[in-house]
A and B are shown apart, each in its own frame.
Chain A
Amino acid sequence: MRAYDFPLFPEQASTMAPQVDYLYFFLIAISVVFSIAIAGALIGFAVKFRRTPENQVGHRIHGSTVLEVAWSIIPFGITMVIFGWGAWLFVAQSRPPDNAHEVFVVGKQWMWKLQHMEGRREINELHVPVGQAVKLTMTSEDVIHAFYVPAFRTKFDVLPGRYTTAWFNATKPGEYHLFCAEYCGTQHSGMIGKIVVMEPAAFQAWLSETPPILPMSGPVASAAAGDAGSLSPVAAGEALFAQKACITCHQPQGGALGPSLVGVYGSTVKLADGSTVTADDAYVRDSILNPTGKIVAGFQPVMPTFQGQLTEEQLMQLIQYIKSLKATPPAGAGVAQNPPAAADSAS
């Protein structure tokens, strides 16, 4: 029966969807007006000025500067309105709200692996609450993918080797398509899934229920921290931090070979070459994979690279753990009990 549906517009299921649709309707209106004007003039002139005697010739009209200026300036003005509107939507789409529910997304040929900040994992399915912003931090294990939910009118590329973010605020419970929109090889069209939008209470219940065992990606992932499937990224990251012996050099109180990482995340870090850098996801990631690239002032480039030794999920877990190392102990993180004073030695 669904095959005989003939929809013209996708469902509106996010706060952004009606906004994008308004611009769409405006653009259609502009297009219809111009198309009718141009086609009307074209057909009208073609009929009215058709050649009747075979030897008839046209009038010598060479042009009109007034007209040229008019039909340059007026369309330009209209396009600037469209630009402003599109830019406004884009800026809104580029800035996730602070209180968003966080989900980590790893794309790989040809599946989506997702993990909620609270720990629950999913594959090719994402459960989200209605009426709350959801922020996605995304990366890829192999080629470029793109996370696309037509009902939310949102799409962003998922790149290997770096993080991208996207966000949405679902407005209507239901199930919606999740597509990979960037061609990624054989099963590109099979790299699909669904977004399940739930009422907040149902979502909270879902989030805290014991998940079914999900297959992990290889032995490395399961080695991360016992039952990684049920740990939050912070807790899993903490276990990794000990297991990979990061803790040996990055002691909370400082004084070891490497800087203490307490309070580093989000701060401005002074580097050995005199420059400074903001410690964000990309910086922490770089420092793990390419440790000698940006040396913190006062330290030696002695850290080995972890390139190839950590999965994308483990990298995200480590970053989340480091992010949780704040002056005050983070809720639910367990061991990160560091004296506030230790934060000073971080940079």
Chain B
Amino acid sequence: MAVPAIDTTLAPHTEVPAKPRKTYLNADYSVSSWLLTVDHKRIAVLYLISIIIFFALGGMFAAGVRLELLTPKGDLLQADTYNKFFTMHGIIMVFFFLVPSIPATLGNFLVPMMIGARDLAFPRVNLLSWYIYILGGAFTLAAVIGGGVDTGWTFYTPYSSTYSTSNVMPAAIGIFITGFSSILTGLNFIVTIHRMRAPGLTWFRLPLFIWAHYATSLIFVLGTPVIAITIFLVGLERALHIGIFDPALGGDPVLFQHLFWFYSHPAVYIMILPGMGVVSEIITCFARKPIFGYSFIALSSVAIAVLGFIVWGHHLFTSSESVYAALIFSVLSFVVAIPSAVKVFNWVATLYRGAISFEAPMLYALGFIGLFTIGGLTGLFLAAVGFDLHVHDTYFVVAHFHYIMVGGAVLAFLGGLHFWWPKMFGRMYPEAAAKAAAVIVFIGFNLTFFPQFILGYLGMPRRYHAYPDEFQVLNVLSTAGASILAVGYLMPFCYLLWSLKYGAVASSNPWQASGLEWLTPSPPPTENFAETPIVTQDPYHYGTDDDAEAVHVA
């Protein structure tokens, strides 16, 4: 019924230019042009390569864990080896994949483009953040190669500070250093979003991806220093025996948990908020409809970032915090669930009376909504103090946070990667293979992690190398699911690489999406925009027939 809302700049490219156009990719082929680049797009690619290497490494450790758990006896790996495997899995996935995953790759690439800027505010600082990340990663890899670390990614004291004989120091130093790359990225985003928006791009015209990254950046800047301090204190105690956490030295072991979760709970939102931004972009684009409740989604990101700082105590319900503290942290944890729920309802409502198509990014986004819903609802279980006493530190918790971090953050990352792949590299990925991979990931994920909810309620503690026989069936299901999930991860890795050379050439706007990043050619030139765009209206002007010229290149 409605006429498609396409202006001239949004029309698919049909003609291929005779001479290769200058893009950020072919501007210079030398190694130094990559390693010394200050182009946010190239830095995004550097980050992308790095985090995928870490993801693969973290995935291999997960594979070892799942294989060990096929049988109740600890028969594949030795106990110490198993403990190092789950620790390395957690450390690598959290600090070297999930935290930087979307912000440092898609965020780095898209934040300037979405606001009509030529780069981030501090391009050299951006490059520095990547080098810091690599340096931190090198320390952590040294810890792995030197024999691993066995404290769990949570580094609970006094085990980490006094008792563990594994490579705690190199791993801790690695995390300490990497934190600074997060801080620099966050700082860069905040300044860029404040100062470098295109003319007419007011706060409430910003894409929701930008709102999500703004909220994430606040946590980066305010939260990350706390984990750095905490790790520093563990190092002090370990190296110099200054009593901070170990009661034998006059310290308090629970103090560590407070400091650790003061960062690490907000860090969960670092992992999920950018994903929420990605999903908001994808849903509205493939529904060909404006986002439902724009300002509620935008402000809920900020609400989550703020409230996320005052719920850390829900990780300590069994750790002897006072009854009153536990009750307060419990009620606040329920409050922080509301802005997340609001987002889910708005995404679903966006589909209503849309014109929906189901390319791979949309499949990932829909999968995200489903899995995030389950992850969020089971978060309510854990926030109920009396219930948490039973399932705390069991597989119920493991299942819950994997629904958020894998079902949420990883699916959003994959969805976003497919969605902006044509923009980043100028090639289309193969659609059929991508759809198949999305379905395989969804099935494999659920088979891996749903049984773990049941396992947890049955009472299987996490971080168990061997377990009673009656837990075996569910563990076998979980391992079977993990092998399907592995296939789902390997597929995009293969076909995305393939598409770099053999994929169909992408137009500037293959999805007919709104948003400034689609106004430039794919892949974009180094300077992003030939001329600074001028914005005259709200984002997501899909489903209209009267404002085709509303956003135009001046």
Residues of A within 8 A of B (CB): 2-10, 19-20, 23-24, 27, 30-31, 34-35, 38-39, 41-42, 45-46, 49-52, 55-64, 67-68, 71-72, 75-76, 79-80, 82-83, 85-94, 109, 142-144, 146, 148, 150-151, 153-157, 159-162, 164, 177, 179-190
- The interface centre, meaning the residue of B247, B358, B473 with most chain A CB atoms within 10 A of its CB, is B247
With A46-B356, A50-B356, A159-B320 in contact, do A153 and B389 touch (Cβ < 8 Å)? yes
A89:B289 contact, CB within 8 angstroms: no
Q: List 5 A-B contacts (CB under 8 A).
A: A2-B470, A24-B381, A39-B370, A71-B342, A144-B253
Bound Cα distance A160, B358 (Å): 55
B337:A49 contact, CB within 8 angstroms: no
- The interface centre, meaning the residue of B74, B373, B381, B461 with most chain A CB atoms within 10 A of its CB, is B461
B279 contacts A by Cβ under 8 Å:
no
With A50-B357, A61-B352, A190-B466 in contact, do A42 and B83 touch (Cβ < 8 Å)? no
Known: A46-B356, A79-B383. 12 other contacts (CB 8 A): A4-B473, A10-B459, A24-B387, A45-B352, A46-B366, A58-B353, A63-B294, A71-B345, A86-B385, A90-B317, A160-B246, A162-B247
Stretch from B326-334, B436-444, B482-490 forming part of the interface with A: B326-334
B461:A63 contact, CB within 8 angstroms: no
B542:A143 contact, CB within 8 angstroms: no
A79:B337 contact, CB within 8 angstroms: yes
Stretch from B16-24, B158-166, B227-235, B423-431 forming part of the interface with A: B158-166
Q: How far is the CB of A314 from chain B (nearest CB, A)?
A: 16
Bound Cα distance A143, B419 (Å): 47
Q: How far is the CB of A146 from chain B (nearest CB, A)?
A: 6
Residues of B within 8 A of A (CB): 1-5, 72, 74, 79-80, 83, 150-152, 156, 158-159, 162-164, 246-248, 252-254, 287-290, 292-296, 317-320, 323, 326-327, 330-331, 334-335, 337-338, 341-342, 344-346, 348-349, 351-358, 366, 369-370, 373-374, 377-378, 380-381, 383-390, 392-394, 454, 457-459, 461-470, 472-474, 542-545
- Which 7 A-B pairs give the minimum distances between C-beta atoms? A89-B386, A161-B247, A150-B459, A86-B384, A58-B289, A58-B354, A90-B385
B164:A160 contact, CB within 8 angstroms: no
Nearest opposing residue in chain B for A160, CB measure = B247
Nearest opposing residue in chain B for A164, CB measure = B320
Q: How far is the CB of A248 from chain B (nearest CB, A)?
A: 27
Bound Cα distance A93, B394 (Å): 19
Instruction: Name the one of B342, B465, B543 contacting A59, with C-beta atoms under 8 angstroms.
Output: B543
Bound Cα distance A46, B289 (Å): 13
B253:A161 contact, CB within 8 angstroms: yes
B163:A109 contact, CB within 8 angstroms: yes
Bound Cα distance A138, B486 (Å): 43
Q: Which residues of A contact B355 (CB under 8 A)?
A: 49-52, 56-58
A143:B163 contact, CB within 8 angstroms: yes
Instruction: Name the one of A63, A93, A155, A186 contacting B292, with C-beta atoms under 8 angstroms.
Output: A63
Nearest opposing residue in chain A for B319, CB measure = A157
A160:B466 contact, CB within 8 angstroms: no
A181:B163 contact, CB within 8 angstroms: no
Q: How far is the CB of A120 from chain B (nearest CB, A)?
A: 26
A86:B152 contact, CB within 8 angstroms: no
Q: Which residues of B contact A89 (CB under 8 A)?
A: 384-387, 389
B544:A60 contact, CB within 8 angstroms: yes
Q: How far is the CB of B312 from chain A (nearest CB, A)?
A: 16
Bound Cα distance A98, B393 (Å): 29
Bound Cα distance A159, B467 (Å): 24
B384:A179 contact, CB within 8 angstroms: no
